[in-house]
Chains A and B, each alone.
Chain A
């Protein structure tokens, strides 16, 4: 069955450092991979989308890579700030309009001063 794995343990990072979060998947050939941020008691907020034929995508301090051979995506936040503390979810989907998302369990990021 399809499986998406994210680090279940929280990631603790010092302010100013680069945070790197991992998303691995098996038994899946996604056309799209998305990253969302979720704060406690709130719904997920879209951050970045990358397509299967793209290797890398950037948006301000965020960077995502997508390696379909390794079946892995890396999500980087450079110059981390305490305000970046949240749970980050990766989500996969196939072709088709507004396709259903299959989410990982998320990784909690804590950025300390």
Chain B
């Protein structure tokens, strides 16, 4: 049973460029969340997708956008890259539970993005 897979594992870009990161959720999961983790910090929530729509968003600028496909896979796009965007980008999947439940997140191993 494959867990969450992310691609690519590493990426180097220069300032001003655009990047697309990809995520395949764990089998049976329908909700995908994206997190940014700077070195020595905890992950920070970017946004969450369910039924191909952005459902929740963290405190990130519009340069960060996403998409979810009918097969539940997801993309994170970042435009006009800044040096400060250098981080580990994590994708997490879960199964949307009942209204008052809370499901653990299953994380991929991330994409390490370096901006030069």
Interface residue A102 (Cβ < 8 Å from any Cβ of B) = yes
In the bound complex, residues from chain A placing their C-beta under 8 Å from that of B74 are: none
Q: How far is the CA of A95 from the CA of B107 in the complex (A)?
A: 20
Instruction: Determine which of A42, A98, A101 lies in contact with B109 in the assembled complex, contact meaning CB atoms within 8 Å.
Output: A42
A-side interface residues, number (CB < 8 Å) = 28
B-side interface residues, number (CB < 8 Å) = 33
Interface contact B100-A46, CB-CB below 8 Å = no
Interface contact A41-B31, CB-CB below 8 Å = no
Q: How far is the CA of A101 from the CA of B35 in the complex (A)?
A: 9
In the bound complex, residues from chain A placing their C-beta under 8 Å from that of B96 are: 97-98
Question: Residues of B with Cβ closer than 8 Å to A?
Answer: 4, 31, 33, 35, 40-45, 48, 50, 56, 58, 90, 92, 94-110
Question: Residues of A with Cβ closer than 8 Å to B?
Answer: 4, 31-32, 34, 36, 41-46, 49, 51, 89, 91, 93, 95-106
* List of 8 A-B pairs having minimum Cβ-Cβ separation, nearest first: A103-B42, A43-B107, A46-B104, A100-B45, A32-B102, A98-B94, A98-B31, A97-B96
